[in-house]
Homo-oligomer: A and B are copies of this chain.
Amino acid sequence: MPSLTYAEENYLKAIYHLSDGGKNNVSTNDLSKEMKTKPASVSDMLRKLSEKEVINYRKYYGVTITEEGKKSALQIIRKHRLWEVFLVEKLMFSWDEVHDVAEELEHIKSPILIQRLDDFLGNPKYDPHGDPIPDEFGDVKARPRLPLNELMVNDGGQIVAVKDSSAAFLRYLDKVGAYIGARIKVLDKVEFDGSLEILVDNKKTLFMSKDVAGNILIMQTS
């Protein structure tokens, strides 16, 4: 694995995510939006990442991630998500506070640290947002999942992840008790605007817009 600088790691991670795990091409402009840098800076970085052979770069046509690059990206993601578990489970961070800190911690370079952190946490398979944690070889146990708004009336399941991890959205979910792991059932669907009536943990019912429901991912069980 080529050694990457802090900034290179961040670009590579962004490419991995924007390409949906390496499936799609990513454009310079999209990357510049994601990284909050100018397109000119992105071009420069792409040249460097391409020299290190973690991406395939053809000028003016965007990039794809290489197999090597995918491995590197998955290791960074592994570290990020393990640290998130640590922050939430051991240090009592709420799940909307962890992202920025994990963003820094993920760059600490020490394989033994990550291995021991993983053991200390009990080798978790999912992070606090429900996203799968790659193992040391980069293998991911993905759960089948679909957006809550695609369920039919009377369909039930468990919340396994959220698409939008913004602090505002996570605080909203906290307020209504929609945690990862919560069991939900669709009681009713309003045809007019697609909003839903939901039963949470067999206790509380709540109303939810189609937009919100679209950002909640469900593992269907009925």
Which chain A residues have a beta carbon within 8 Å of chain B's beta carbons? 87, 90-93, 97, 100-101, 104-105, 108-110, 112-113, 116-117, 120
Contact = CB atoms under 8 A, between A and B. Distances in A.
Given A101-B113, A113-B101, A91 B120 contact: yes
Q: Which 8 A-B pairs have the closest CB atoms?
A: A91-B116, A101-B110, A104-B108, A101-B113, A91-B120, A90-B120, A105-B108, A92-B116
Given A91-B120, A120-B91, A108 B101 contact: yes
Contacts of A100: 110
Contacts of A87: 113
Contacts of A91: 113, 116-117, 120
A209 to B, nearest CB: 32
A167 to B, nearest CB: 14
A117 B101 CA distance: 13
A93 B116 contact: yes
